[in-house]
Amino acid sequence: MSKPDKKKPSAEPEIMEKLVALSKQRGFVFQSSEIYGGLKSCYDYGPLGTELKRNVKAEWWRAMVTTREDIVGIDASIIMHPNVWRASGHLATFSDPMVDCKDCKERGRSDKWPKAEKGAEVEYKVVVDHQSGKKETRKGAVGDLAIVCPNCGSPNLSDIRRFNLMFRTSLGSIDPLETISRRLEGKALSGEELRKVLADAIDETAVYLRPETAQAMFTNFLNVQQAMRMKIPFGIAQQGKSFRNEITVEHFTFRSCEFEQMEMEFFCHPPEFKPEGEKSDMEWFEYWSNARLAWYSNLGIRKEKLRLRPHAADELSHYAKGCNDVEYDYPWGWGELEGIAHRSDYDLKQHEKHSGKKLTYFDPQANKHYHPYVIEPAAGADRAALAFLIDAYTEEPPPPGTNEGRTVLKLHPRLSPIKVAVFPLVKKEGMPESARKIVGEFSKSGIKAVYDEKDAIGRRYRRQDECGTPYCITVDGQTAQDGSVTIRERDSMKQDRIQVADAVKVVQNRLAE
């Protein structure tokens, strides 16, 4: 088991700056609400970014649902019953009283920290120089919370804070503020009493934006299984927005408060009910780990920039039997693209406990009811789109004899926002008309094509290179004579002559490769 090694000297620290600039210039990603000064961690996808992300999601759906008999999809609501989050455990940490040590920066639950007598003098050691690890002995008095830091023993602590990992809102037309002001009218309450009144009033209508899409696959487990007559092993897949009030956000769109997930819950036999010849839960775990890793490399991410990192035992949740992260070597170091978790039967049992409804699968072969095990590949659509973008970003030096290099996004053609650009070599002799007709043919076939006649032909090629457009078709003098055009491939810059009549078919075939 390898430990995460997040830190590494960045080989190209400036690549992100260039990519952010290109993203804005070419319309991949903009900062949200930019004219108002921006909003922390929020980004908007522009026209090309939207196409890219849609293509990423479409490829995922194709690989996970369309081409598989054993997986079906759902599209659940973002707001779910609050008890879903009690069952999943998200609401517990949400309301836990958290406290920070001001000396060693340890953070934890105040009700779990060592008790100490209020006002008592204590002695503790603090690391004063992180490089040498030099410590200094200090003294202090225990404060009102009557606890000390479990790490360094310091009584120098922050106030209690409750971290809102989930976005809370209220469902219903009555504003909780109305309820609160009514209940508080004419009352003089202590801080603790006041808090209770507020918490109760808010709780009555409180709902939360989902922090993950996974729970809807568990709550709908039997609905889906019965409606679609699914037999174990089978999976339920979903794509959609999730929301987390992250403590920190970083690295462009890599970690943000609003993000899109692509998750699949694969229900398989627990060991005691596994028939002969069927994959075991651990074999499915390996299968999905490898399948998900391969998905990224098949869509063009360089193999040496991808790895599967097994979680160390102390990183795992208590119920998990394993977790592999698919990681990408971002410009700032290795970071998570996707997590494949072996969740045992924890989630279904939790929901069974909290809802009081049976969530067992009836296995007609074994003639038994049981809770299936679950393997969960959970990917981030925004992270995937970002990784594809970073990996595709290439700066080529000027070829011998010239002085202009080129910037090219070597995206997999199926991920490219624009598939084909069609140019008239010059703006005369009917070439623009022919070119526009070709664009029309592509549009009719559902292939995103654009027309461009501005500037010299070389410049138009370079513009498309920056957008990641894999194919450029040019109408020239020969077109009028024999009905042929050139098709130029983005990465090799090689040109073939093809018939106009075959153009759509040729591109379709190349996209299918």
Partner RNA sequence: GCGGGUAUAGCUCAAUGGUAGAGCGCUAGCCUUCCAAGCUAGCUAUGAGGGUUCGAUUCCCUCUACCCGCUCCA
Binding site for RNA (CB under 7 A): 6-7, 10, 13, 16-17, 20-21, 24-25, 31, 37-42, 89-90, 93, 105-107, 165, 211-212, 244, 246-252, 255, 317, 332, 402, 404-407, 425-429, 454-459, 461-463, 466, 474, 476-477, 485-486, 488, 493-495
CB of 244 to RNA, least distance (A): 5
Q: Return phi, psi of residue 78, to 5°.
A: -70, -35
27: DSSP letter: T
Instruction: Tokens for 78, please give them.
Output: 């973002």
Q: What pairs with residue 237 in β-bridges?
A: 73, 264
CB of 441 to RNA, least distance (A): 18
CB 319 within 8 A of CB 325: no
Residue 477: burial class (beta carbons within 10 Å; 0-12, 13-18, 19+): exposed
255: DSSP letter: B
DSSP 152-202: T----BPPPB----S-EEE-SSS-HHHHHHHHHTT----HHHHHHHHHHHH
Rg (CA), the chain: 28
Q: Kindly report the CA angle at 96 between 311 and 323, in degrees rounded to 5?
A: 10
Q: With CA atoms as reference, report the closest residue to 287 among 408, 375, 390, 194.
A: 375
CB of 41 to RNA, least distance (A): 5
Query: Closer to RNA at the Cβ: 170 or 407?
Result: 407
Query: Closer to RNA at the Cβ: 229 or 454?
Result: 454
Query: Closer to RNA at the Cβ: 163 or 370?
Result: 163
Query: Closer to RNA at the Cβ: 17 or 283?
Result: 17
CB of 429 to RNA, least distance (A): 5
CB of 481 to RNA, least distance (A): 11
Query: Closer to RNA at the Cβ: 63 or 101?
Result: 101
CB 370 within 8 A of CB 330: no
- DSSP three-state, residue 480: helix
CB of 207 to RNA, least distance (A): 16
CB of 202 to RNA, least distance (A): 21
Query: Closer to RNA at the Cβ: 98 or 180?
Result: 98
CA–CA separation, 497 and 501 (whole Å): 12
Q: With CA atoms as reference, report the closest residue to 339 among 300, 372, 301, 310.
A: 310
CB of 275 to RNA, least distance (A): 34
Query: Closer to RNA at the Cβ: 126 or 299?
Result: 126
Query: Closer to RNA at the Cβ: 231 or 427?
Result: 427
DSSP 264-332: EEEEE--GGGPPTTSPPHHHHHHHHHHHHHHHHHHTT--GGGEEEEEPPGGGS-TT-SEEEEEEEEETT
CB of 331 to RNA, least distance (A): 7
CB of 170 to RNA, least distance (A): 21
Beta carbons within 8 Å of 463's beta carbon, 6+ residues apart: 452
Query: Closer to RNA at the Cβ: 255 or 383?
Result: 255
CA–CA separation, 267 and 288 (whole Å): 12
Query: Closer to RNA at the Cβ: 65 or 450?
Result: 450
